[in-house]
Structure 1
């Protein structure tokens, strides 16, 4: 009689990816090749290369808060240094710093969201659940 074996699960092996590398590049945290975003800041539903379901990705407000704090300090410091060195009119500050702030915000927000999603994948983060067992 033949022995019964347990069903084999999908054993596809993907090399471990660097959280920082795939996050900053906007790539899939499992295969490192598929695109992470389908639009400017919206993650894809599933990786086109490896098929990873991205429904686990719940980055919340973490990346936005970090970008606001870091970028606010950087841009304010640069604007203050620019004012001290060149004494430009206010309209020139507006013309320079609004586009710079917008562009850097989008860049850093994409990177931080990517890093957050990659770290959630690597640590197998999931939504918390209550244990309702009667003990």
Structure 2
């Protein structure tokens, strides 16, 4: 089911980009928990076809690292956050995810929040500001 979900999401991303006025150079994925797992996987498999991802309280399945064809993420921006008291995915997993992604891209932001498995208002505010700042960094300044 996971493999099919990844394929379906990639197909949808391409379909939406062709069908709607979406700049393919400015595509971001955002996910929480299982959605974060899928967002990270898509970044690893689509590489620089994505501009960036926001992964909230997720991780990278080991089989994705070993069985999937991975692409370069060196210019993909990544915001990873994790709850310090996450009862679903312990904070250690957040650190491991950030360390792995840090090796893949020079554009990683990693933040911890004093929460369980959820998204605090501070976390939401931080990733929204991160997206705005990241997307502005690619605009041509006159």
TM above 0.5, one fold? no
With the length of structure 1 as denominator, give the TM-score of the two structures: 0.26
With the length of structure 2 as denominator, give the TM-score of the two structures: 0.25
Which one has the largest radius of gyration? 1
Which structure is higher in RCO with an 8 Å CA cutoff and minimum separation 6?
1
